[in-house]
Structure 1
Amino acid sequence: MQNQMDVARMEMQFYTDLFNRMVDGCFKKCVPRFHDAELNTGEQVCVDRCIAKYMDAQNKVGEILQSEQQAQMATQGGPPGGP
């Protein structure tokens, strides 16, 4: 039970860090100056595309890591405690 809580906590920290890096990077790229309280159309489009690219990259990295982990488990004879 404690291990599941630790994993959940680490996952939450990971996603919080990802969100913060994504917001910081996309904001710096897409909103060079503050003129209005709201984003203009160009800034909105830029932010949407930036976030989509960030998420695509994150998903691809996750898929690669998962494939590598599965390959490593296969070469080691499966997960610990398995048959």
Structure 2
Amino acid sequence: MYKKNAVITAESGLHTRPAAQFVKQAKQYAEDVEIVSKGKTATAKNLFKLQTLQLVKGTEVTVQSANKQAVDELASFLEKVTG
């Protein structure tokens, strides 16, 4: 499994609109993609599950999947989302 750390940089954290975009991007991959934060794990393909992680600004997360491209792209998304 490939893993990459990312830090949420958006002032508002990963709120509903960017979280929905993130989920849409994650669903492009056949492999499972998971987000790990503060000991909790959620699938990146389910908006409700993702929001249970409370991804506020400054939160460090780990993106993990068997698909390296998915991990790289989604980790980058989390660090670049502005709003």
TM-score using structure 2 length = 0.30
Which of structures 1 and 2 has the bigger CA Rg? 1
TM-score using structure 1 length = 0.30
